[in-house]
Structure 1
Amino acid sequence: MRESANGWERSAVVTGGGGFLGHRIVRLLCVRGERVRVVARRRYPTVEALGAKGIQIDIRDAAALKAALWGADIVYHVAAKTGHWGPKQDFWSVNVEGTRSVLEAARSCGIRRFVYTSTPSVVGYAHDVENGGPDLPYADVHESPYAASKAEAERMVLAASGTGMRTVALRPHLLIGPGDRQMMPQLVRRAVAGRLRIVGDGRNRVDLTDVDNAAWAHLDAAVALEQPGAPCAGRAYFISNGEPVVLWDWLNVVLQELGLPPVTRSLSLGLTRAAGAAAEGLWGAMRIGGEPPITRFLAAALARSHWYDLEPARRDIGYRVRVSMEAATRRTIDWLAATMVADRTGRARIASLAAPDHPHAQTRQ
Structure 2
Amino acid sequence: MNVIRACKEWGVHKLVMSSSPSTRFKGSLFHRPCVDGLTEDEMPRLPLDAYMQMYAETKAKAEMAVTAACCDDLLVVSVAPHQVYGPRDNLFLPNMLEAAGTGKLRIFGSGKNRICFTHVDNYAHGLIIAERQLFEGSPVLGKFYIVTDGNTHPEPDAYCVFWKELDKAVVAMGFQSIEEKAHYNFWFLYVVALIAEALGWTLGRVFKLNVFNVFVLTMHRWFRITAAEQELKYQPIIPFVEGWADTILWFKLHWLPTFEQWDRSWFGLARRSQQKIDIQAKKTT
TM-score bracket, shorter-length normalisation: 0.7 to 0.9
Is 2:107 the partner of 1:198?
A: yes
* Structure that is richer in strand per residue: 1
Runs of at least 5 residues in structure 1 that lack an aligned partner in the other structure: 1-99
Given candidates 197, 220, 224, the residue that maps to 1:280 is: 197
Question: Match of 1:313, as an amino acid?
Answer: A
Given candidates 52, 62, 67, the residue that maps to 1:158 is: 67
Shift of 1:338: 2.1
Normalised TM-score (structure 2): 0.83
Q: Which residue number in structure 2 is paired with residue 147 of structure 1? A: 56
Aligned length, in residue pairs: 257
CA distance in 2, matches of 1:358, 1:249: 26
Q: Which residue number in structure 2 is paired with residue 120 of structure 1? A: 21
Given candidates 12, 24, 35, the residue that maps to 1:129 is: 35
* Structure that is richer in helix per residue: 2
Question: Match of 1:112, as an amino acid?
Answer: H
Q: 1:341 to 1:210 in 2, by over 3 A?
A: closer
Q: Which residue number in structure 1 is paired with residue 182 of structure 2? A: 265
Shift of 1:176: 0.7
CA distance in 2, matches of 1:170, 1:300: 23
Q: Which residue number in structure 2 is paired with residue 350 of structure 1? A: 261
Of structures 1 and 2, the one scoring higher in RCO (CA 8 A, sep 6+) is 2
Is 2:132 the partner of 1:223?
A: yes
Shift of 1:133: 1.1
Shift of 1:251: 0.8
CA distance in 1, matches of 2:274, 2:240: 26
Shift of 1:339: 2.3
Normalised TM-score (structure 1): 0.66
- Equivalent positions of 1:1-365 (< 5 A) are 100-124=1-25, 126-135=32-41, 136-137=43-44, 138=46, 139-226=48-135, 228-242=136-150, 243=153, 244-263=159-178, 264-288=181-205, 291-340=206-255, 342=257, 350=261, 354-357=270-273
CA distance in 2, matches of 1:259, 1:160: 50
CA distance in 2, matches of 1:207, 1:310: 10
Shift of 1:269: 2.3
Superposed CA deviations along residues 81-117 of structure 1, whole A, max 9, x for unmatched, are xxxxxxxxxxxxxxxxxxx111121122221100111
CA distance in 1, matches of 2:121, 2:147: 11
CA distance in 2, matches of 1:187, 1:162: 42
* Contact 2:102 2:262 (8 Å CA) reproduced: no
CA distance in 1, matches of 2:192, 2:142: 39
RMSD of aligned Cα (Å): 2.2
CA distance in 2, matches of 1:223, 1:189: 39
Question: Match of 2:272, as an amino acid?
Answer: P
* Contact 1:199 1:268 (8 Å CA) reproduced: yes
